[in-house]
Amino acid sequence: MRRLVAETRLSVDDLVAPLFVREGIDEARPISSLPGVVQHNLTSLMVEVQRLVDLGVPAVILFGVPLAKDAVGTGASDPDGIVQVALNQVRERFGDQIVLMADLCLDEYTDHGHCGLVRPDGTVDNDATLDRYAEVGLAQAAAGAHVVAPSGMMDGQVGAIRAGLDSRGFDDVSILAYSAKYASALYGPFREAVDVEIVGGGDRTTYQQDPRNVAESMREIALDIAEGADMIMVKPAITYLDVIAAASAIVDVPLGAYHVSGEYAMIKAAAERGWIDGDRVALEQLTAIKRAGADLILTYFAADAAAWLS
């Protein structure tokens, strides 16, 4: 009876699995702050994508960890960069069996750890960064990405990437914009996963959203859609359910939410101590994200949730 009258239905079709692929390793490496999550090499990545395909998970999003970093994040757009190589190999093997998304940012590839190019005084140069984003988008599209996902929160990023893609014939490549990405304290495990540390102990409050604001995020979402975003996203998810609900009420494009590393890690840590039933809490949180209005959920629980929901 409860299933019959349920108002919210979470499905495997709602899930996107974030995957990390690292250059120069012989086998997958566990990430200590994300139990059960690893940095893949190309071989283990193929095995994991096959597992997700078999479970019915419809999409993955790739994050790269390069061997070398520099001031402009060269590896992010290098055709031989780790994410481009991974995209090419996964697309060649799996074709359209699974949607391939690629995180489009510079922080994993820069030696200063910021999402954009940095001026001599240490501030991020928004406009100069847009050209780099366009270059990265083209490299990812050429490598086989179905979707590019700009996460840097630079003003004008969607328009610059869309123009770049369309100018080279990649008009069928979609853009999932991180439109409401908050300056959250919940990203710590992710930064371990991609080996990112902001030089000088700085932060990203000058370009990520203020956690105290909602109206500001609604304006950012509207701007991204006007610039050509095919999908938009709110990040983090559980602590921003009100933002997801507000966005759901105003957008007519698919709405994503990122159940971020800190949200995952807290569940895992409490479950390891026997304080909660981790699986039930994870499923409850994913259902809450869906109930708030998300159409797709990026979550490190994707494979587990697919098994629970089967």
Residue 46 burial (10 A CB sphere; 0-12, 13-18, 19+): middle
Cα-based distances in Å from 106 to 57, 67, 114, 244? 27, 14, 7, 26
Q: 157-192 burial by CB neighbour count: b if 16+ within 10 A, else e?
A: bbbbbbebbeeeebeebbbbbbbbbbebebbebbbb
Cβ atoms of residues 57 and 17 within 8 Å:
yes
Consecutive H or E run containing 65: strand 59-65
In this structure, the strands spanning 38-40 and 29-30 are antiparallel
- As a whole number of angstroms, the distance between CA 236 and CA 259 comes to 6
Closest CA to 90 of 130, 55, 47, 154: 47
Q: Is 278 exposed, middle or buried (0-12, 13-18, 19+ CB in 10 A)?
A: buried
CA–CA separation, 206 and 124 (whole Å): 8
- Which residues are known to be catalytic? 181, 235
